[in-house]
Amino acid sequence: MADHFINVQGRFAMTDRTYRRPTACLCALVTSALCVFAVLFAGTGDAFAKTARIKDIVAVEGVRDNMLIGYGLVVGLDGSGDSLNNSPFTEQSLIAMLERLGVNVRDMNLNTGNVAAVMVTATLPPFANQGSRIDVQVSTLGDADSLLGGTLLVTPLMGADSEVYAVAQGAVIIGGFSADGESQSVTKNVPTVGRVPNGAIIEREIQFDLEDLGELRLSLRNPDFTTSRRIARAINGFLDSETAAISQNPASVLLRKPEGYRGTLVDLVTDIEQLPVQPDQTARIVIDERSGVIVMGAEVRIAPVAIAQSNLTIKITETPQVSQPNPFAQQGQTVTVPRTDIEVNSGADVKLAMLETGVTLQDLVTGLNRLGIDPRDIITILQAIKASGALQAEIEVM
């Protein structure tokens, strides 16, 4: 098998007036990441012995959450609410609310800073019963500074079908604060977002009778052909049946109640969700270009490859000098004389390093970390190894 040779050119990083490209020679076991280099590695010996419960890797089709949303007002703020001149929707909502309560303020000049228009969101869990309570999230729409001390007024929460499923009201709890003076201000977390614990009462239930279904589909949270087939085999083995579970595709396993099973469909789901299954996954490297974070799976493999990273540092130093005329001189002016010093280090000692067969992810990670290579350069190295065909993994850039 022919070896792969790569010359990885580093990238410039600007700091003030200094352009640097890190120096590094990747030695025989080139390996590991920096403090920001996150690695998920479970040793090769026991990586394939890890099992998970079926309930942790699948979701039952139809058993799902539903999103709710509503528009409301938060009152009782200490002058930190919306400016009515800048938030006309807040003023219109305030006038409409007062008119429903029998107070006529139309055509009057309202000037209060204690009200804020908010969007209210919540998640309606599956099989939620009428009269039970759920938490709600409250977020400002206008230019309010904080929701501290506010109270959410009655707000209907609608689903995607525009039907009202819950009604929210209660005191808003925020996890931050904002304080300012004439020349300085301080803000912790986001004071314009808050929660109302158990703030919504469910008024309408979503009808879903699980027992009326003749079959169920189990949806894999991480679709994979191997995992799907293993789930089907584990269920069939437990139920002593060949057709109780069928692997339809990487994302779905069809579940039927076998003949002779005396329990309900709920009993069947309860029985199988505790079964252990060994999940499989594609070898993958996830790269976040913005933060420089790299996450690798344990299945990543590297073929024989030689790596070299060139080194170039250009340093530009500006030391301007000021030239002034002599005291009491009849002519002359003060001028700034530029002085520039440029230093170039081409890194002539860069060597080519060879990665032999059998190098593991742990070896790669350890070596790169020991050399102190910047995550940005590690990303370039991994992409170059992938382009050479020596990296058996999928690279996903976020």
Same domain, 73 and 174: yes
Same domain, 26 and 40: yes
Domain boundary among 260, 277, 294: 277
CA–CA gap between residue 329 and residue 226 (Å, rounded): 90
Cβ atoms < 10 Å from Cβ of 194: 24
Report pLDDT digits (tens) over 281-305.
888 888 887 777 778 777 777 777 6
Cα 154–Cα 88–Cα 193 angle in degrees, nearest 5 = 50
Same domain, 37 and 116: no
Domain boundary among 177, 202, 227: 202
Domain boundary among 168, 202, 236: 202
- Average pLDDT for the chain: 77
Same domain, 90 and 216: no
Among 149, 240, 229, 144, smallest CA distance to 192 is for 144
Give SS3 for 95. Answer: helix
Residue numbers of the domain that contains 304: 4-47+284-324+333-397
Cβ neighbours of residue 289 closer than 8 Å, sequence gap 6 or more? 379, 397, 398
Return the exposure string of 316-331: e unless at least 16 CB atoms fall within 10 Å of the residue's CB, then b.
Answer: eeeeeeeeeeeeeeee
Same domain, 217 and 110: no
pLDDT band at 394, cuts 50/70/90? confident
The beta strands (E) that lie in 274-347 are given as: 276-277, 284-288, 293-296, 301-302, 305-309, 312-318, 321-323, 335-337, 340-345
Same domain, 150 and 222: no
Same domain, 289 and 263: no
Same domain, 73 and 184: yes
Report pLDDT digits (tens) over 5-47.
333 333 333 333 333 334 333 333 333 333 333 333 334 444 4
Instruction: Report how far apart, in Å, the C-alpha atoms of 110 and of each of 80, 85, 141, 153 are.
Output: 16, 9, 19, 19
Report pLDDT digits (tens) over 367-393.
666 666 677 777 777 788 788 777 778
The CATH number given to whatever domain includes residue 258 is 3.90.1150
CA–CA gap between residue 108 and residue 131 (Å, rounded): 40
Same domain, 70 and 193: yes
Query: Contact, 218 vs 251, CB < 8 A?
Result: no
Bridge partners of 153? none
Same domain, 296 and 383: yes
* Predicted local confidence at residue 132, as pLDDT: 95
> Number of structural domains, the chain?
3
Same domain, 264 and 292: no
Query: Contact, 171 vs 76, CB < 8 A?
Result: no
CA–CA gap between residue 279 and residue 234 (Å, rounded): 12
Same domain, 288 and 267: no
Among the listed ranges 94-98, 186-190, 343-347, which one has the minimum average pLDDT value? 343-347
Share of the chain above pLDDT 70, in %: 74
pLDDT band at 262, cuts 50/70/90? confident
Instruction: Report how far apart, in Å, the C-alpha atoms of 88 and of each of 85, 153, 335 are.
Output: 6, 19, 56
